[in-house]
Structure formats: structure tokens, C-alpha cells
Structure 1
Amino acid sequence: MMRAYLVAVALFALALSLTSASDPSPLQDFCVALEEKDYSKSAVFVNGKFCKDPEQVKAEDFFFEGLNIPGNTENMQGSNVTAVNVEKIAGLNTLGISLARIDFAPYGQNPPHTHPRGTEILVVVEGCLHVGFVTSNLENRLFTKVLNKGDVFVFPVGLIHFQLNVGKTNAIAIAALSSQNAGVITIADAVFGADPPINPDVLTKAFQLDKNVVEHLQKLFGY
């Protein structure tokens, strides 16, 4: 009786695994994302985007220019991220990869943030960067490294990480991400700049700060 029960459970688990299985990659060469204005009833929806008719696809759908142009770093953080994701290159849709150029003013930083959908690999093109990431609770272990021109560092998916220009000159880095749209959550912006604002009592207790400090930060980062 027990043997028959175990066989039945095994068969059920096998059937479940087969019905929930999915292809690890698209079963077509590409699925160029359509702009919203070009949607039609016949368009196929794949990975958050509608696919353009393959007969209408052009080389420009896989092209981006201007990554050689420095980003504007005249801001509070002294940095600028030029993202090259599926919103910039429609042909990236379903391909699971994107790119970014990060410019740093002297002592500028790309503040602590996470990418919920992608691992990041970063190479320093110019300058010297102090970089790091923190592991998840409860360990919260910090891994840091000072990178020079040509050095490479990896930030695992979803973990809080940062880059700081520790030099007196501008710095440039190129980052590749394992998602067509990795997303970004900048910690300070999300916590203190939420719209509508998070109740200050929540942040006062969470960060063990005076309520006046919390309200000042909300004004600083808020809309």
C-alpha cells in the first residue's frame, strides 16, 4: 500500500514539474519590442513587451549611439548613469542583457542601490573607484575593493552595492547586467523619497533617528 502511494506521489510530482517547466530562452531569433503606439490586436506579448513583426525589423532596432558622451554629474551625488536597456534598444527584448555607462565627478558616488532583476559586472575605464556590496540579513557582510583602470568587479543580483570615486579626477565605468531591464532601487530615494511619504514614525523607529532628522531627510529626497 505504501509503495503504491509513493509511486503515485512520484508520478504527480513528475507531472507537476512537466506542466510548470518553461524554456530557458526564446524559441526564436529575436522579439524586438514595439512602441506602445504601434500595438495591434495581432501583436505577440513576450516578457513585458509586444513583438514587432520580424519582417518589419531593422538594424536600428539593435543599435544605440552616444555612449561616448559623458553624463551630467552636476547633481547631489556627483554621478550619472546612462542606461542602455530595452527602453533604449528594442532588440534587447527577451535577450536578458543590458549595459550602462557611469560617470563620476571627483569624489562623486553611485549611492547604495540594488538591481532586483540582474547581476552586475563592472569595469573601470578611467579613474579609481571604491566599490562594495553587502550580503543579505542576518549576516550583512560587506565586501569592498578599490578598483583601478581595467579592473572588474561583480555585484550579485538583488544585493545593496555602491561605487565611490576616490580620485581627484573624473572616473568612468561600464556595467553589464543580466537583464534587459534590471531595475534600480536607490535606497535613500526609496526610503526617504517615497511618494506619498512613508510615515515618519516608521522611519524614526527603523533608523533610530530623531523625528526631525527623518522629516528633514524626507524634504531633502522627496518630491
Structure 2
Amino acid sequence: MANALQQLPSSQGTAQKAMLGTSLEGTRPTYIYKVVLLGNTSVGKSSLAYRYVKKDFKESLPTVGCSFFTQTINLEVATVKFEIWDTAGQEKYHSVCHLYYRGAHAALLVYDIANKETLKRAKLWLRDLEKEFLPDEIVVALVGNKMDLAVEREVATEEGEEFARTKGLLFMETSAKSNHQVNDIFMAIAQELLRREQEKASALSPCGRSTVNLGESGVRTGCCRL
């Protein structure tokens, strides 16, 4: 489901608070995560979100403010519900975008592989995230989009990989148009978020074992940040 949101979000968004509930089968824990898409205008953020949620491709006009999508992933050990915030990439919205990614659990930094300048902008977005979050508070993926324009490539795969490696980011190249690795990047984010949930649970357990009962129903979210 996609709804255009023109107003600023509340700092008490759904993704920031735990709610009682059950997964579809009633046997897996459910986690709600807020995911934000950041990057320059025209890098394909809206198309990535639309492809992932609607399983289709459409050319989009620049987002005004923010758009909102939801998607549920049913995994063997848990159900993950993504609340996906697609932010505007125009410079005039940059100063207010921190209001949209407040409380986020994951971020996709999207650039266009055929436009080197958009990678520079993605790096600036990362600086903003680093001011807002501690390293273990948010999962960040660097995404080189528009693989369908590989013949016009200005950013080598190795350049994106190296930057992601030095910053400890997930990395993948995608194409919303051809559906290349779109599902894969969101799945990688889900798996990393769940891995961190297990890590936190193990750290809290006095005997070093996970306190998360994967057979227990309920909704859990990552650490919130108001």
C-alpha cells in the first residue's frame, strides 16, 4: 500500500514503538522497522520502492516531501514489516529531511551509477546519518541504482564497494527498471536487522544465550530514537 504524505511525520511514528500482535501463523515474532530512502533527485528512489512493493516499474516525477510504502516479509524465524519512507532528493528539502529519518532502523543511500555526482551526494547523506545515529543504531546500505544504464556507467562497481567497505555499509547495485537485485537489497537489510536483534538478545542474556524465543508471538522493534 502506498500513500502520499505531504505533511511532516510525527516523531512518534509506528516504527518507533512496540505494539502487541502476532505474525500470520501466530508462531513467529514480528518486527516493525522504519526504512528511509535517501539520495539525490532522479536516482530512482521512488522507482525502487514502487518496484519492491508493487512488483512493477514506473517512471516517477520528483517526490514532494515524502512518500510512504509498507511491505511485509515472512521469513522462517520472524515476520518483518517494513515502513518505507521515500524522501525528496531536491536540495530545497535537504534541511528538513532529518525529520523524516528520525527513528529509522535502516537507510538506503541511493546513487545513479551513470552519474558520479550522485555518489558524492550519497556520501553527504551518510554524514547526516552519522550525526543522528550511533554506528550500531541503524543499518545502512549503499545502493548503486540504474544498472540498466551500465553502458553509461560513471561509477565503477569497485568504487562503490570500496566506499561501503570502509564505512561498514551493505552494498549492492540494482535496477528498478529491470528488477535487478531490488528484492535482494531489502532482504539483506531484513537479515542484518534480525541478526542485530539476536546479538542484542544474546548480550542481554546473563548466560550468553539468546533470550528471544523465536516461537513466541509478539511485535518487537529496533531501538527507537526520538
Instruction: State the TM-score, normalizing by the size of structure 1.
Output: 0.24
Structure exhibiting the larger radius of gyration computed from Cα positions: 1
| Higher share in helix | 2
Higher relative contact order (CA 8 A, sep 6+): 2
